Structure 1
């Protein structure tokens, strides 16, 4: 889905507890107008008090145009996003959001689908599962959580299919997930889509190196092991086409940090290359892509880059800023 800067004003129609520490929120247009369409795996970027921007996956059926459904887990170390939603958001409130964006698009040409969810990571997979059901696609889900009390949408999933859903509740009788066995069980035309904690996704990345082209991940937080820049020890010239400014990006400093140090404000959210809030068009020069969301095709084209983490392999880089 193409990135858009469209801003929406949405009304909180309903708030419901889905599991321990997890709320689901239904958002509608205040005039009951049709909402922008979304595709399986898409998310909203909510603009919250204090300048916070937080991304929340849409878990309802992509065919619905009258509402958006998101789920928010109360983070133990919340920086203001989940804490505000759990303690202050009320039905009837208005919120500002981006239009739907998708960094975790479903490969709709796959023969069958294996979904792997860790805790709140079930949210983007729900819309994918609903799409599979509607389209008559073959699918299965491996759902890991500490306990059934912390497993959001457990009843909904059981209603969709008891045979296709396999649960691993580590505090109960489900046992731990065997990552090697899971990768070995993939059919030749089966794609795996995973969202969850860093430990789960890193384990699947390691186990699935031989089939990496069929593995897809959605990161809610920066992985513990980030791509390392080959050019981190060297600075480069940064040319801003619109303003005509020429800046120097020093070693060990991001483009975003350099812009901020010169009083220039640009949109950003994660500072870890796991969203597209800071995506910027490249005019000339070659970026060193260090993000986790651009596709191989997008990286090869070098038409845009995420300036919060990526750098340059050429002495000079010109951006459309």
Structure 2
């Protein structure tokens, strides 16, 4: 069984508005001076007042364990979490927050690193850039937004990152525009690319890095993948003890597993956070998440959105339970 998941009640100690309708929140523990450590690319689960859970990247300095900093963009067409943050969260409020988890780690290496951020996708990459900058590692941060006027955290970025490592690209400034396919057409030796942003931006970079070697392109998505319109077919989940769980066409694997009495933690339930990730031993999964790498898809499964053909034998031994911290 996996280590228990820590849930902390943190206090909002500062807030500010950023361009692009982004709300920055700083959180501290009311009694403990140090929070659990985190690495660049980490995110936390924030439990909202109505029981919903949302994931936000930590964009502060990993060396500063006194606080966590998150940035929330208001999404008018979203599911309401960002609106709640903007309208209800204020200094002094307390929020249940998980310990950090990292599905987007910055790998150690000596080659150059390209960090490509689109809009609010800057949040996980800002922590990466700060660490690389401090370590003196070769990197470039490319920040793409519609204009300077709507670029969140721009002042922080310009103060934190040496200008030799920073490239700003604004759609309304011809001299700064950059075509991502041209940027990524040639891969420097041993280079790694990390990218995050809106769906169109993500798709463009995925296409532009198709020729890059396996394992050299890394990403984090804030929104689920666009699914095809093909009808969903029923399938069967088989547990380690031989129990068979039917999954109807209109039911997720996660829901079927829970209905069978198996506790499986989940947060986003749309394939972007990885909380419900589990292993599989046999079968042909239909992966619909935006979390798993190509390598991981050979043995890992995200049951909130992914499905299978026929029967899928799952390994649910690494269940995570919650505890208070």
Common topology (TM > 0.5)? yes
1:211 corresponds to: 212
Q: How many residues align?
A: 313
Partner Cα distance (1:237, 1:71) in 2: 38
**3-state SS of 1:182 partner:** helix
CA deviations 1:239-293 (Å, max 9, x no partner) are: 475xx864212346421232456687743233332211222355x5446261332
Q: Check 1:49–1:265 CA distance in 2 against 1; reply closer, same or farther (3 A cut).
A: farther
Distance 1:176 1:161 in 2: 20
Unpaired runs of at least 5, structure 1: none
2:247 counterpart residue number? 249
Q: 1:10 deviation in Å?
A: 0.8
Give runs of aligned pairs for residues 96-245 of structure 1, distance below 5 A: 96-159=96-159, 160-173=161-174, 176-213=177-214, 214-224=216-226, 233=233, 235-239=235-239, 241=241
**What are the ranges of 5 or more consecutive residues in structure 2 without an aligned counterpart?**
320-325
Q: In the alignment, which residue of structure 2 is the partner of 1:288?
A: 285
SS at match of 1:36: coil
CA contact (8 A) 1:39 1:62 kept: yes
Q: Is the 8 A contact 2:234 2:246 kept in 1?
A: no
Q: CA deviation at 1:188?
A: 1.6
Do residues 315 (structure 1) and 317 (structure 2) align?
no
Q: TM-score normalized by structure 1?
A: 0.87
Asked if 1:305 is matched to 2:301, the reply is yes
| CA distance in 2 between partners of 1:313 and 1:3 (Å) | 32
Contact 2:187 2:212 in 1 (8 A): no
* Deviation, structure 1 residue 102: 0.6
**Match for residue 10 of structure 1?**
10
Q: Deviation per CA, 1:19-78, whole angstroms, max 9, x where unpaired?
A: 231111111111143111101100111000222111111111111111111111111123
Q: Which region of structure 1 is more displaced relative to structure 2, 36-45 or 24-33?
A: 24-33
Higher RCO (CA 8 Å, separation ≥ 6 residues):
2
Q: TM-score by structure 2 length?
A: 0.86
Query: What does the per-residue CA deviation read over 1:130-170, in whole Å, with 9 as the maximum and x for residues that have no partner?
Result: 11012110111111111112112212222222232222221
Inter-partner Cα distance in structure 1 for 2:212 and 2:125: 20
User: Are 1:287 and 1:310, in contact at CA under 8 Å, matched by a contact in 2?
Assistant: no
Distance change (3 Å), C-alpha of 1:174 and 1:226: farther
Give me the CA root mean square deviation: 2.8
What is the CA deviation profile of residues 92-145 of structure 1, one whole-angstrom value per residue up to 9, with x for unaligned ones? 111101100111111221511111111000000000001101211011111111
